[in-house]
Amino acid sequence: MSNEQVLTNARIVLEDNIVDGSVLIRDGWIADISEGGSSVGDDFEGDYLLPGLIELHTDHLEAHYSPRPGVRWLKIAAIQAHDAQVVTSGITTVFDCLRLGTDEDNGFPKGEMRGMADALAQAKDEGRLRADHLIHLRCEVSTADVLDQFEDFQNDPQVRLVSMMDHAPGQRQFQTMDQYTLYYKTKRGLSDEAFAAFVERQQALSARYATPHRTALAEACELRGIAIASHDDATIEHVEESIGYGVRLAEFPTSFEAAEASHRAGLSVLMGAPNVVRGKSHSGNIAARDLAERGVLDVLSSDYVPFSLIHAPFVLADEIEAIDLPKAIAMVTATPARTVGLNDRGRIAVGLRADIARIHRREGVPVVRSVWREGRRVA
């Protein structure tokens, strides 16, 4: 016998409008959407019924695994803590970022992120996780060992997204030395001489490795059907380079011209939901709201605050006239799903997975009341 449940008296957020009605779930899939109430089922009491949120870029697992410099937490425990925070933020699909490429400032040695991926697979197999976890490999292309570490993942079906990053001074996120100096010299307490030597080494590594590593990673991803993201594109030339590599997702462009060029070219422009909530970037780059007002913001990521992914769309809908709630919610559901080829989720539509979040919100910060993944309540 099939397993059916009804969610009723809900404000159902579709991709282009909101309807008051009910959703029928059968065997984990959306079987029917009807306007009007039902005498049976789980009464939403007028709360919003949204698609489960889809998170493409979060470093939050790393924060649980390495909560202090030099500290490593038990991998399974870190994953479960991360999973709990993610799902209670309304997120039903999460791409966990694993950082590849080791330099003198940060990164994990070869094998450590492979171990995290194995722990994620184990947690799934043992039924420990409530959200659907996939892997986003953040590849620091200016490091000598990034391709060696990438080889550890060549047969891993969990990997669905790869981003190519270069954090060397004068590149992408750190176009000005003011930003780089604050981020590295001031925070690390380096002397002028030590900082100058550090900068010289990082620039030399970037010059040597960045281009061949980007090329090799792009070729590998094309062969395996893995979506590619650029990171911190700043110029038209960066965007043109990204297009040549087959990039689908433009993460955190650092200039208006790069964001607009990416959007025109059909790339999904991603910015941080914390940027929206705070009204500015923590690193001093462009504000996500400004991109939203220009109509070139496509995807939001919680980045370092999981709950911001449900909070930010309501901020955009409240404050930007051209963005209504369905359009804002699509930035955290339908558009990220399409960008990475997850065609079975991201919308409230018949035939799709019953990944659903119940959200109560009169004003201010929304409340996540309950969450379902594939028809099973998980929060």
Indicate whether 201 belongs to any domain: yes
Strand segments, DSSP code E, in the chain are 4-13, 18-26, 29-35, 42-43, 48-51, 53-58, 91-100, 132-140, 159-165, 227-231, 249-251, 268-272, 299-301, 356-360, 367-373, 376-377
pLDDT digits (tens, 9 = 90+) for 12-48: 999 999 999 999 999 999 999 999 877 788 999 999 9
Q: Enter the tokens of residue 359.
A: 């959200």
DSSP category for residue 363: S
pLDDT tens track for 1-10? 679 999 999 9
Q: Which residues pair with 100 in a beta bridge?
A: 139
In a domain, 209, yes or no: yes
pLDDT category at 146 given cuts 50, 70, 90 is very high
Helix, strand or coil for residue 105? coil
Q: pLDDT by residue (tens digit) across 167-226?
A: 777 655 555 566 666 566 666 667 778 777 777 788 888 889 999 999 999 999 999 999
Domain assignment present for residue 207? The answer is yes
Regarding predicted confidence, which is higher, 178 or 334? 334
Q: Compute the Cα dihedral for 124, 128, 132, 137 and give only its sign.
A: negative
Determine the longest span between alpha carbons in the chain, in angstroms: 74
Rounded CA separation 67/181 (Å): 24
Confirm whether 274 is domain-assigned. yes
Indicate the SS3 state at residue 64.
helix
Does residue 197 sit within a domain? yes
pLDDT averaged over every residue in the chain: 92
Read off the pTM: 0.92
**In this structure, is residue 373 part of a structural domain?**
no
pLDDT by residue (tens digit) across 47-87?
999 999 999 999 999 999 999 988 999 999 999 999 999 99
The per-residue pLDDT for 167 is: 73
Q: Which residues of 95-130 are buried (b: 16+ CB within 10 A; e: fewer)?
A: bbbbbbbbbeeebbeeebbbebbebbeebeeeeebb
| Residue 106, C-beta contacts closer than 8 angstroms, at least 6 positions apart | 99
- In total, how many domains does the chain have? 1
Reference 137, options 107, 159, 105, 106; nearest CA is: 159
Q: What CATH code is carried by the domain that includes residue 220?
A: 3.20.20.140
Residue 96 lies in a domain: yes
Map tokens 């016998």 to a residue: 1
Q: Are 55 and 23 in contact (CB under 8 A)?
A: no
Provide the pLDDT for residue 173.
54
What the block records as the tokens of 253 is 């462009």
| Confidence check: pLDDT of 234 > 70 | yes
Q: Domain range holding 68?
A: 52-346
Of all residues in the chain, the percent with pLDDT exceeding 90 is 81
Asked if residue 91 is part of any domain, the answer here is: yes
Alpha-carbon distance of 226 to 185, in angstroms, equals 36
> Residue 154 is which amino acid?
Q
Residue given tokens 């025109």 in the structure block: 264
